[in-house]
Homo-oligomer: A and B are copies of this chain.
Amino acid sequence: MILMLICSKCGRKFEEKFILRCTCGGTLLVKRKYDSFAPRKFLDIRRYIDYLPVDEKFLPSLTPGITPISKISDEVYLKLDYLQPTGSFKDRGTYVTVAKIKEEGIDEVVIDSSGNAGLSLATYGMAEGIKVHVFLSYNAKPEKIARLNSVNARLHFVEGDRMRVHEEAVKFSERTGIPYASHWLNPYFLEGTKTIAFEIYEQIGIPRYIFVPVGSGTAFLGIWKGFKELLEMGEINKMPSLVAVQAEGYESLCKRSKSVNKLADGIAIPNPPRIEEMKVALRETSGFCISVGEEETLAGYHWLRRNGFFIEETSATALAGYWKAREKGLVKGSSLLLLTGSAKSF
């Protein structure tokens, strides 16, 4: 097996270490070659351990599960990926990241996050003895801050928007030498989120479309990578079309709106570093981008809550985006919608 990281921009190759960027500034992906798709017998994420670039002995004990899929109509499936230990799909990426961090002997890291990714990393860090600095905006939701506090995160508040928070986290890392473990850049994070694709495939096969809320693109790119690996292994012969659902005012793939959707704080990321890879994913899968406003998000949110899905507003954009795309005649066939984060209060 070839073990390496490859730059998405210049193609340069690196050893599989905890590196976040190529010397050219490009983002990295793990590149391995797998012969065939043969999940293990585990009924949790370790089912796919043979496709993850980590040593079993460093795996955290807080194991992400296989999340259920609910069929809500003849053609619409919801994947309840918020039913993970810390309440979001991020645990998949964190699980692999923390295993890699432990392998490299790192015991202190920096992350910037509007909430879920920080909560996930801080929780796993607390459990595994890794100190986690979380950079976040003063505008972060109070319930997310309270929960970050409860898992001993070292909080650093930043004045300004999500991009400013990102810059301050990077500066802090450069000043102190504490590794920056951003899910935005970290190639190991996507190795975790690619298991979403493996699960979907085992659970319902290949849906025609997959709708994913997209900010930094960690779920979106993981799903793309997972299906691509299944294709390369010869397990499948077509990809589902990936649909990037974005929030108005924060679009990076769709045309930027003037109005601003303040409800979907988890995807309020106007300039994600992996934007070029996301464009490739859309092109390769004949997918598209769709943007939703506050009213649409709220309608999706209320529908989901009324039907027993205890999700946060950001997750509701997947349903809002699906409704909008269907109305526009963009959807012909089965659709799976990823529900990414759980409600933090009631």
Contact = CB atoms under 8 A, between A and B. Distances in A.
Interface of A: 41-45, 61-72, 80, 83-87, 123-124, 126-127, 143, 146-147, 150-151, 199, 202-203, 305-310, 345-346
- Nearest 7 CB-CB pairings of A with B: A65-B68, A44-B68, A127-B308, A63-B68, A123-B308, A62-B308, A147-B346
Contact of A80 (B69, B85, B146): B85
A4 to B, nearest CB: 30
B43 A86 contact: no
B308 A126 contact: yes
A54 to B, nearest CB: 16
A339 to B, nearest CB: 11
Nearest to A122: B308
A328 to B, nearest CB: 26
10 contacts: A43-B66, A43-B68, A61-B71, A63-B70, A65-B66, A66-B66, A68-B85, A147-B346, A150-B305, A150-B346
A307 B127 contact: yes
A100 B72 CA distance: 19
Contacts of A307: 61-62, 126-127
Contact of A83 (B65, B72, B123): B65
A94 to B, nearest CB: 10
Contacts of A71: 61
A308 B65 contact: no
Nearest to A149: B346
A41 B205 CA distance: 12
Given A65-B65, A65-B68, A83-B83, 5 more contacts: A43-B202, A43-B203, A62-B307, A80-B85, A345-B345
Contact of A309 (B43, B45, B62, B143): B62
Contacts of A67: 65
A315 to B, nearest CB: 13
Nearest to A151: B308
Residue among A62, A84, A124 having the largest count of chain B Cβ atoms under 10 Å: A62
**Looking at A85, A124, A146, A199, which has the most chain B CB atoms within 10 Å of its CB?**
A85
A69 B83 contact: no
Contacts of A65: 65-68, 80, 83
A199 B309 contact: no
A263 to B, nearest CB: 17
A304 to B, nearest CB: 10
